[in-house]
Amino acid sequence: MMMEFPIDPELRQELSGDEAAMKLQALFQEHHARLQRLVRIRLDSRLRGRVRSATVLERAFFRMRHELAAYVQFPELSPYVWMRKVTGDALSEIHRDALSDTGDSQSQFALYRGAFPQVSPKLLAGQVLGQMASGAAEAARARMQLRTQEFLNQLDPLDREVLVLRHLEELNTSETAEVLELDGAEVSRRFMDALKNLTRFMKSLPEQN
């Protein structure tokens, strides 16, 4: 059974008062860039160019307004993690509507327990290379990306989730722990182990030597 999250009493009061809609709007704007990054990371590649991140966020905000009263009454998540979850639910709904007849043959990494949207191995590998091998030539980069995808596929699934949540979504340790239902010490340990293994792998690539 989920426990109630101890959100700030003043914020809780503001979200349940007469100006709750205005406070939610302000909170949404405060986290807009993070939520937009979430959508861009997790939007299915087949929908890029067809679905705008603004469309997803509009649907997400509509859901937040609808679900706000229930959230304030018994907040099981911190405010940002709740907004992140609602945004993920909205994106999942768009994926189902747009891709229901196509099937899903792409191998993807699950980043959230449940039906949360996923991120493609290609995107994750590209992000890693952008951070750690930005100067590689095009042909070498293509080879490195394939090998990086293979390496990421071999990581412990939970270590990979921690790496992506911290590295791509830029969640902090406590937010990552909340999303994955782990304690902060385990998140930190898994993140450092994943980074260490990733750094060792990158140094082993012939193109990096």
CATH number of the domain that residue 160 is part of: 1.10.10.10
Sign of CA dihedral 122, 80, 175, 2: negative
Taking the C-alpha atoms of residue 158 and residue 91, their distance in angstroms, rounded to an integer, is 22
Identify whether the C-beta of residue 84 lies closer than 8 Å to the C-beta of residue 56: no
Q: pTM for the full model?
A: 0.81
In the chain, the number of structural domains is 2
Same domain, 129 and 192: yes
> pLDDT tens for residues 19-60?
899 999 999 999 999 999 999 888 888 888 889 999 999 999
DSSP-assigned beta bridge partners for residue 119: 109
Name the percent of the chain lying above pLDDT 90: 36
**One domain for residues 93 and 149:** no
Does 129 lie in the same domain as 87?
no
* N residues, the chain: 209
Parent domain of 191: 121-208
Q: Kindly state whether residues 126 and 202 are assigned to the same domain.
A: yes
